[in-house]
Amino acid sequence: MQTMPYSAERVSVALGLCVVMLASLPRFMAGGYGTRQTLIIMAVVLVASAAIAQWRMLTSEGRRKLPRLCLRLALMMIVGAAIMGVWHALYTAWISWQVFISHAATCGLLVHAVSLWWKPKARI
């Protein structure tokens, strides 16, 4: 059976990817990397456009699931911040808040995406 090319889970991951890219912008602003800033902004527009297109193709059930998945994404971003806070406290010298939020957002998105795989199997 073929899977659908769009789902509420994919939209939530795409939104999380936009958050990660926006969280990395301060790093490049502080470093003076104007070209990378421009590329990231273009990527955010592209991914956000794809997320909007996928959201428009969602069924009503998928649209009902999306707010809960976005809340789950926000909680995973907080978990990512906690994980990276502990990591930076134990294993690295403090670099900057820009690096921290970039790493925290990336970790949160990874935890969110991996946690979406863990679903209980349906009994037939």
**Domain edges within the chain:** 8-117
Closest by Cα among 23, 79, 21 to 50: 21
Q: What is the pLDDT of residue 3?
A: 59
The residue with greater pLDDT, 17 or 122, is 17
Please state the rounded mean pLDDT for residues 38-44: 95
Q: How far apart are the C-alpha atoms of 75 and 36, rounded to whole Å?
A: 28
pTM value is 0.85
pLDDT of 48-103, one tens digit each?
999 999 999 998 898 999 999 999 999 999 999 999 999 988 888 877 888 899 99
How many Cα atoms occupy the beta-carbon half-sphere of 59 within 13 Å? Answer: 5
pLDDT of 9-36, one tens digit each?
999 999 999 999 999 999 888 888 888 8
Region for 118 from its dihedrals, namely left if φ exceeds 0, alpha if ψ lies in -120 to 50, beta otherwise: beta
Q: How far apart are the C-alpha atoms of 39 and 15, rounded to whole Å?
A: 18
Q: Judge contact between 100 and 88, C-beta under 8 A.
A: yes
Q: Judge contact between 59 and 85, C-beta under 8 A.
A: no
Has residue 37 got a pLDDT over 50? yes
DSSP state of 92: S
Handedness of CA 8, 65, 17, 72 (dihedral sign): negative
Q: What is the pLDDT of residue 34?
A: 84
Q: What is the pLDDT of residue 95?
A: 77
Which residue bears the tokens 């939530």?
Answer: 12
